[in-house]
Amino acid sequence: MLGRVFDPTNGFWRSLGRVCDIVGLSMCWVICSLPVFTVGAATTALYDAVYHGVRKGELGDYARFFRTFRESFKTAALVTLPALALAAGIYAMWYVAYVMAAGGSRGAMLWLYACRILLLAPLAVWLFATFTLSRFTFGPRDLLATAAKLAMGHLPSAIVVALIVEEMAFFTVRKLFLPAFFTPGAAVLLCSLFMERIFAPYMPKDEEEDEDPDEDADT
């Protein structure tokens, strides 16, 4: 009885281990994103590590995170810099609207929501780019073009993915960044449920989607 309870291969301990991995990988993402321009490489690395380590249960997810971060750094940075400039412009408009809304302007309240909607399109393309870079090799220009095509071709999924990340980000900021130990990994895990369906037709046929390989061993 006790042997089964404390068996590290049972479902409870595997699930607990994956939750701990989400926390650990989220912290890796936060640390690697601190210079800001590295957030693209950190997001690519987080997606790769979460997909293989948390969803598929493969070992070495932290080593995979830092390896992917290093390998994707240049391309991800070149994709991220213009995205940051665009995001800064939208944020500036949002902040002006926020100040006006605080002063009682009803029109500014509408502009606040408009800015959030305006952010969805570039956010979706940038997310698709960083996630795609974790699975395929592209140069910056081709990566952005491919990400835009995938986002337009799977528009409902692109909107959901962008909303997941946007809501997680706003929740984290509203809570004074305290949930940052968990929300990056959780957001990417949810996004992977949509992204892997999009990637599936382009993956080698012998690479199967197996979200929990340990289940076969248990049965």
For 161-214, the pLDDT digits (tens) are: 999 999 999 899 889 899 999 999 999 999 999 999 999 999 887 565 454 444
Which distant-in-sequence residues (6+ apart) come within 8 Å of 81 by Cβ? 37
Report whether pLDDT(133) > 80.
yes
Q: Rounded mean pLDDT of 12-29?
A: 88
Structure tokens at 135: 């699975």
Q: Give CA–CA dist 83/5, Å, rounded.
A: 48
Contact between residue 191 and residue 150 where contact means Cβ atoms under 8 Å apart: no
Q: Residue 120, CB half-sphere, CA atoms under 13 Å: how many?
A: 18
Q: What is the pLDDT of residue 8?
A: 52
Q: What is the pLDDT of residue 217?
A: 41
In this prediction the pTM is: 0.86
Tell me the domain boundaries of the chain: 2-202
For 74-96, write each residue's pLDDT tens digit.
Answer: 999 999 999 999 888 888 887 88
Q: Rounded mean pLDDT of 27-51?
A: 97
Q: Residue 5, CB half-sphere, CA atoms under 13 Å: how many?
A: 2
Mean per-residue pLDDT over the chain, rounded: 87
Q: Give CA–CA dist 123/115, Å, rounded.
A: 12
Q: What is the pLDDT of residue 53?
A: 94
Report whether pLDDT(98) > 60.
yes
